[in-house]
Structure 1
Amino acid sequence: MRFGANYTPSQGWFHHWLDFDLDAVRTDLDAIAALGLDHVRVFPLWPVFQPNRALIRPRAVEQLVALVDAAGERGLDVNVDGLQGHLSSFDFLPTWTQTWHRRNIFTDPDVVSAQEDYLRTLAAALADRPNFLGMTIGNEIAQFAAGPPHPDPDRITPEQAGSWLERVLAACEEGAPGLPHLHAEYDTSWYQDDQPFTPAHAARLGAMTAVHSWVFNGTAQRHGRGGPATTGHAAYLVELSKAWALDARRPVWLQEVGAPQPLIPAGHAAAFTEATVEAVLDCPDLWGVTWWCSHDVSRDLVDFPELEYSLGLLTNEGEVKPAGKSVAAFAERWRGREHAPAPRTTALVVDAGDDGLAPHRSVCAPGGPVFDAFARLAADGARPTTVLASLADDADHLAARGITEVVTVDNVA
């Protein structure tokens, strides 16, 4: 069982790559390691590392390697997100994909080839580091592919999204063979009918499934800061992902989860953290929990959405916050312990239409019939999981997952 943090540098936020200070990074990593965490997820800025389609800056790659080495010296493993992409409401795309050079980042052959070179280069530079966990393609890169909410999307079909993912994942494998490379999408892949990055992509491509749980998506608004559906949202996403997985034991990584104000007030952050993590730890095949984020964003930086300034486990000055103490306590409790919850034997049927395209996946969103039925089952102590309608009568599939009871939305009072 792994506990970690998404590393947000205390000095300069992700702009620290422009003025890279390894001593400042070491100070941040010391504070993260002092919480008892075992890994970080880090974020190179794509336009900083590859400012021209034919230029991957050697000095930037060296700085990334230095960061990974510094983390290793502190007992921290590192997952590296490559295509940044999108972070905390800001987009970071190279100029060679924008305005006068506007090209679709998923389908233009020159852009995709350059992405492959970039991801392969980062992976190869880290392949021999024992604390390198592998690559994540990018942070919630699906948000570029559909609008709304994105104001200027690079529109693609689900088939094009799948083809792109296969290519960029293969590039990571070429750079660092045998490591668990993956991609990470946010909840529109599970909840938005026309999002071209589908649940099947998330649950079938890459070494494991990543889920990002944010309760400002309507969950906390509907169910309150401490409602079981709110504190159980991360567990719901983990179990929802298993409906589309072809491997009955596919690992699921809760790669982002946080306590956003004001929906989760500061005084309630510790309670929310404890309840959320307790709920998700009852999910079989959970790889780990990685909190968003390590450090608060400095108030010296402007134009962030207000909630972004207060999501850290640590203040910008490195002081441990209540949520940080809660995550540290979980890390201490689980250090060296095997994570093996009992199988979830009750499965709720999910019918989102075609299994690959999921054209009606909004049934799974907050307020949808699948979401609400799952919440009611969980509140009744049923420990539910999910199963696709097409597999609900497949005895071999159910047995492989330990499912002994199948219920439909209409069966749940």
Structure 2
Amino acid sequence: MDTFVKEKGFSKDFKILVFGQIISILGSALLRFALSLFVLDMTGRADLFAVLFAISSIPILLTLFGGALADRFNRRHLMVLFDVINSVVVLIFYLTLWTEYHSVLGIGVVMVLLSIISAMYSPAVMASIPLLVREQHLEQANGIVNGVQALAGVAAPVLGGILYGLLGIKILVLVSGLLFFVTAIVEMYMTIPFVKRDDDGQLVMTLFKDIKEGFTYVVKQSFILKCTVLAALLNLLFTPLFIVGVPIVLRVTLEVSDSLYGIGMGIIDFATILGALSMGYFAKKLQINRLYIWVLVTAFLVIPMAIAVIQPMLQIGYYASYLLFTGCALVMAMMMTIISIYVMTLVQKETPNENLGKVMAIMMAVSQCMAPLGQMGYGLLFEIFRANLFIPILMICVMMLLLALLTHRLWRIHA
């Protein structure tokens, strides 16, 4: 591994990896959003716009197959292959735009294919990072990669809308297809260590077997299992608060203007990116046996958020409530991002290379599947206590305090 990280800072291979992430993840998300806008213009139906954009984000569980592939095949070859497939899919769709054969169904298929490829692409990237950077830079490297992913989520709707308006769908699709192809060529100059594994020639059965072995490995490895459980609980409790809770408070309770609402949501997105990019600094201050303190601080930050929506506070005027609520949300989003990346880095350091793709994929899939459950639960709570939103917010505080206690107990033996 040393041959790949001799130079100071990050190696050429890691920089190529990040470049590929920017084009593949951001490009895919941007194009999916632009295509959903195209459907809106074609049909005038907002429901189809929303459904297509939501469906294109469904293939989370295919991350597991991406993880199995990342441990079975050369990860550089996989990234190149995925970007070539992206390019072919997009360029074929570009050709159909000049005919009468493009339809809402066809656009939906393209969006789902792009989402599937993106889901398969991520485990190969996450499993490659420990092989391309020094261990002392691993947290910072993960922060950069996660920062790119967070930025893609924020920038895709903005850039997708702007470029769609400026270039039109045909030019945007053509440029995207060519960029995917250029990325594949650049990634061919990247070197990622790879040891070929024996197989019986039955790829599908082998992948299912590898996924099963991955789950067995995670369950048997106490430390990795604890990290996976913590990552899942963080996603269950924190992510829905920002996706469901914050919009309801800003729009329904505080009734802020469109501009203030956009600023509030943008602040949280910015905090996520800032947390990821500052990971290198905070990594030096984090210790596994003190991780519960970070969770505890986030729990206490929920209390001012509850105070922000009580009637006496609201009667003062919504500006004070708005500043208090969004300020605490900003700090929480940043801390949650740092904790999540730190936990993921611990797993990377603990997992041998031959299992790294599967373990990363399992951790990602389990965590991502918890967020929708939390969103449904939070949505129900916020609807039941619509007139007194401080009650569900305080309930969230209690759950986070319990998570801090659980975190303390889980890693007490590592003190």
Relative to its length, the structure with more strand (as a share) is: 1
Q: TM-score normalized by structure 1?
A: 0.28
Pair member with larger Rg? 2
Higher relative contact order (CA 8 A, sep 6+): 2
